[in-house]
Chains A and B, each alone.
Chain A
Amino acid sequence: MNIPTYKTEQLKCWNKAKELRNNFYKNYASAHEKGGIRWAGGAWSFGAIPAGLGRDVFPLTGEPYAASIAFNKEFSIRCMEAVEKKGYARDLCSYMRNYWGSIILDEWAFGGKFQKPDFMWQDHICCSHSKWYQVASELEGGVPTFSIDVTVGPYNTVKEHKIDYLVNQMLDGIEWLEKTTGRKYNDELLIEACKNEFRSTSKWAKICELNMTQPAPLDEKSMYSFYVFGTLAKHSGEFADFYDELYDEVKYRVENQIAATPHEVCRLMSDTQPPWGFLKIFRYLESFGAVSVGSLYTFGLIGVWEDKPDGSWGARTTPMEKGIEIKTREQALRLLADWNLSKPEWQHFYSPHLKSEMMIKIAKQWKLDGIMLHYNRGCEGLSLGIAENRLALIEAGFPVMTFEGNMGDEREFDEAQAKSRMDSFMETLGFKQLKI
């Protein structure tokens, strides 16, 4: 086999990404020092809404915070054990258990005591979502909590009454925020945050589109460090601006054939969250010249997409790109509800077959050689229907490999076995470890 050699170089915005992420947690932790507000909630919660309380309102999103804990295996194990001691089952969401453990131990993942929020603001599509913060509130002695139910069915069935259900809960939520914080709500800030969210989540999809290029300018392990901004605060103007910057850099890499890995001979995608403590498995794949160019998870957890007139899958056109002027609270909330309901990673909560269709589109458009499905014991939500996805991908003609693990509980990931499966998969696909 002819092994190509591509130019590679570190991403220029890498250090800026690290700084932005560090500042995100610092801002949250120090919010009270400047009279600000801090809230906690899920990565999918409608963060644009509390943004209407002021510019000194800082979120802590549970999933990325818990993933940071998972990366620190020693702390994560202590969190898990603390939760189990309280009587909670060890097969529950491992993000949730890391998060609760951090509260119970009163330890902040980045040093010091756990930083209690002033209120919790959640949304609910997975069985664990609202229950996560119900328990968190109890563990923290009764932090006020509000959650918005978004379980109205897949986007292809959306009707006005479904949007009304979401918007009415959002409007109640705004009243609740005013009562809970004693602050007057600012619709201008809401509109600004909504625009930021449309911009950032569409731009992230555009960045992922660039990875259709051969050689891929980004590998999935690096993408995890960037998609995270959408999970931290997709409504943040600073993060939306950063995605613009990242897009320009990735585009430059495409134009100049700067690759993520120097010897790309095999293109893969994964599925669901990776085992965060073992991201080195992606580097192991590179020893075969294999690059994971993304996944429905990396593309669509936060990225918002749509079917294009030519049948392809691409970044969703924002309301601003359509020339829509957002003037009122109600209009902003309707657009926000509609936008989020089209999120790719919300569709399989209703049917794995919708997810299979999107995965097959990715496999074709991104020109993949094979697919690795992480049967993730740590997330019932994203592992939902994964066995049916496997069947559908095989039926569509794509080689599929599965490995079991857990995104946040290292006790359930067997690194040697996963690597052994990767060896077999690579052999099946006809690739050998490169001797370069």
Chain B
Amino acid sequence: MISKFREWNANRHAYAQEWKKKTGGKVVGYFCTYVPEEILYAADILPVRILGGHEPQDLTEPHIFGMFCPFCRDCLAQGLKGKYNYLDGIMIAHSCLHIRQAYTSWEKHLPTQFTYYLPMPNNVQSPHAIPYLAEEIRDFKKAVEKWIGRELSDDDIIRGIQLMDESRNLMRKLYEFKAMENPPISGEETMQIAITQQMVRKEEHSEALKDLLSKIQSNGKKSGTRLMILGSENDDIPFVNMVEGCGATIVIDDHCVGTRYFWNSVNYNGGDPIQAIAKRYVERPACPSKDWMDRTRVTHLLKLAKDFNAKGAILIQQKFCDPHELDIPAIKKAFNEAGIPTLFLEFDVTVPIGQFKIRVEAFLEMLNEDDLF
């Protein structure tokens, strides 16, 4: 059932190139999930998330100082290696400083027809964030219109919203299965679907997901120890395989490749569609760089852990990822107070699977000690 998603993930560049050849359409690479893809879909563009390759590299040393996160350097490395040569444009929405460097270096050294920086507000808790973002999205829409040479009507925008929302809603349905006592889908399988959700045309991805949902059994094999994973960007399939191979089942996550990308929808029901899009992005589960002055993430994460009955949580942080470094002590404290033990792991472009395996095994043993005695 998952083979289609695995194939897309393994051949992500071939997929985009074939799509381009087949449709004659444009492909835009984006660096952050705050990019309002609704506008790109309205313009019949294929948005693809630029992700790393999980291979050691030294191409980015002249471009990004080594104290910045390995993820942003890995993303830029993919461009410098020529993996994304098929892109017609790149864009980013304002989130963390680290990933912005991948964008600005790419913009200079790997020129594309279209580049766009969208100032997504950081003060998402301010009542002024939505009207402000709506204006920024209007400016972005104008830039896209200028590039593609045609105006985008409200109907186009609404079509973009519907495509995005359908995909989000299907993912929420998939996650309902993960909340079950014996989830019929693993963390690795979910991650394959979540990664490809960010690089395959939503129409195709949604069709495959509908097919999967129609075939999925409501009860799977007995689950392992139910875990939550959360933190920095994480699309590390070998890591997830290792964790689940140790006897765990990852039942819920809070990553930008994962629930932060699709947890809330636009739910358009009339009125100004741009305003509706802005509302969705301001109100989505926050990236830590935007989670102030109240800590909304802590409440949201605890609710997820409770709703999905997670027995423990792995806190993942990309090395040097300041926004997550600033949240992890508060999250760890809140989880421990709620009786949910945590394991902290620092990620790099590649992870030391052997060392992490020992730590994960010890963590699982600790979580299951009641069963032992």
* A contacts, CB < 8 Å to B: 86-89, 91-93, 124, 126-128, 130-131, 133-135, 137-138, 145-149, 151-153, 159, 161-162, 164-165, 168-169, 172, 349-353, 375, 377, 380-381, 383-388, 390-391
What per-residue 1/0 map shows which CB atoms of B313-355 lie under 8 Å from chain A?
A: 0000100101101111110100000000000000000000000
Cβ-based interface call for B302 (8 A): no
Q: Told that A164-B132, A387-B62 touch, could you supply 4 new A-B pairs with CB distance under 8 A?
A: A133-B293, A138-B330, A147-B293, A152-B121
* B contacts, CB < 8 Å to A: 61-65, 67-68, 94, 96-98, 100-101, 104-105, 107-108, 117, 119, 121-123, 126-129, 132, 135-136, 139, 288-289, 292-293, 295, 317, 320, 322-323, 325-330, 332
Contact A352/B97 with A149-B121, A387-B64 known, Cβ cut-off 8 Å? no
Residues in chain B near residue A375, CB distance under 8 A = 65, 67
Q: Which of A92, A134, A350, A386 contacts B325 (CB 8 A)?
A: A92
Are B322 and A380 closer than 8 Å at their CB atoms?
yes
CB distance from A378 to the nearest CB of B (A): 9
CB distance from B154 to the nearest CB of A (A): 20
Are B121 and A151 closer than 8 Å at their CB atoms?
yes
B121 and chain A: residue at smallest CB distance: A149
B319 and chain A: residue at smallest CB distance: A91
Residues in chain B near residue A128, CB distance under 8 A = 322, 326
Whole-angstrom distance between the alpha carbons of A215 and B136 in the complex? 48
Are A380 and B64 closer than 8 Å at their CB atoms?
no
Residues in chain A near residue B320, CB distance under 8 A = 91
Are B123 and A124 closer than 8 Å at their CB atoms?
yes
Are A385 and B326 closer than 8 Å at their CB atoms?
no
Whole-angstrom distance between the alpha carbons of A388 and B122 in the complex? 25
Are A147 and B123 closer than 8 Å at their CB atoms?
yes
Are A387 and B63 closer than 8 Å at their CB atoms?
yes
Question: Nearest 8 CB-CB pairs, A to B?
Answer: A149-B123, A165-B132, A161-B135, A130-B292, A87-B329, A89-B325, A131-B326, A168-B128
CB distance from A375 to the nearest CB of B (A): 5
A149 and chain B: residue at smallest CB distance: B123
Residue contacts A-B, CB under 8 angstroms, 27 given: A91-B320, A93-B322, A127-B96, A127-B322, A133-B293, A134-B292, A134-B293, A135-B326, A149-B121, A151-B119, A151-B122, A152-B121, A152-B132, A161-B135, A164-B132, A172-B128, A350-B117, A351-B107, A353-B107, A353-B108, A375-B67, A380-B67, A380-B68, A380-B98, A388-B101, A388-B104, A388-B108
CB distance from A312 to the nearest CB of B (A): 25
- Residue among B65, B122, B129 having the largest count of chain A Cβ atoms under 10 Å: B65
- Residue among A93, A151, A152, A375 having the largest count of chain B Cβ atoms under 10 Å: A151
- Residue among A127, A152, A384 having the largest count of chain B Cβ atoms under 10 Å: A127
Are A153 and B292 closer than 8 Å at their CB atoms?
no
Q: Which of A168, A351, A387 contacts B65 (CB 8 A)?
A: A387
CB distance from B34 to the nearest CB of A (A): 12
A91 and chain B: residue at smallest CB distance: B320
Residues in chain B near residue A384, CB distance under 8 A = 97, 100-101
Are B97 and A124 closer than 8 Å at their CB atoms?
no
CB distance from B106 to the nearest CB of A (A): 11
Are B293 and A165 closer than 8 Å at their CB atoms?
no
Are A388 and B132 closer than 8 Å at their CB atoms?
no
Residues in chain B near residue A149, CB distance under 8 A = 121-123, 126, 129
Whole-angstrom distance between the alpha carbons of A88 and B344 in the complex? 12
Are B329 and A88 closer than 8 Å at their CB atoms?
yes
A373 and chain B: residue at smallest CB distance: B65
Are A351 and B123 closer than 8 Å at their CB atoms?
no
Residues in chain A near residue B128, CB distance under 8 A = 164-165, 168-169, 172
Residues in chain B near residue A88, CB distance under 8 A = 325-326, 329
Contact A92/B322 with A87-B328, A161-B132 known, Cβ cut-off 8 Å? yes
Residues in chain A near residue B97, CB distance under 8 A = 126-127, 349, 380-381, 384
Whole-angstrom distance between the alpha carbons of A164 and B121 in the complex? 13
Contact A391/B62 with A149-B123, A151-B122 known, Cβ cut-off 8 Å? yes
Are A388 and B126 closer than 8 Å at their CB atoms?
no
Q: Which of A124, A138, A380, A390 contacts B122 (CB 8 A)?
A: A124
Residues in chain B near residue A391, CB distance under 8 A = 62-63
Whole-angstrom distance between the alpha carbons of A150 and B227 in the complex? 38
Whole-angstrom distance between the alpha carbons of A144 and B28 in the complex? 42
Residues in chain A near residue B332, CB distance under 8 A = 87
Whole-angstrom distance between the alpha carbons of A148 and B327 in the complex? 20
Residues in chain B near residue A172, CB distance under 8 A = 126-128
Are B119 and A130 closer than 8 Å at their CB atoms?
no
Are B322 and A134 closer than 8 Å at their CB atoms?
no
Whole-angstrom distance between the alpha carbons of A66 and B288 in the complex? 24
A125 and chain B: residue at smallest CB distance: B122
Whole-angstrom distance between the alpha carbons of A164 and B68 in the complex? 33
Q: Which of B104, B126, B139 contacts A352 (CB 8 A)?
A: B104
Whole-angstrom distance between the alpha carbons of A384 and B98 in the complex? 8
Residues in chain A near residue B293, CB distance under 8 A = 130, 133-134, 137, 145-147
Whole-angstrom distance between the alpha carbons of A185 and B94 in the complex? 34
CB distance from B329 to the nearest CB of A (A): 4
Contact A153/B119 with A92-B325, A391-B63 known, Cβ cut-off 8 Å? yes
- Residue among B105, B326, B329, B330 having the largest count of chain A Cβ atoms under 10 Å: B326
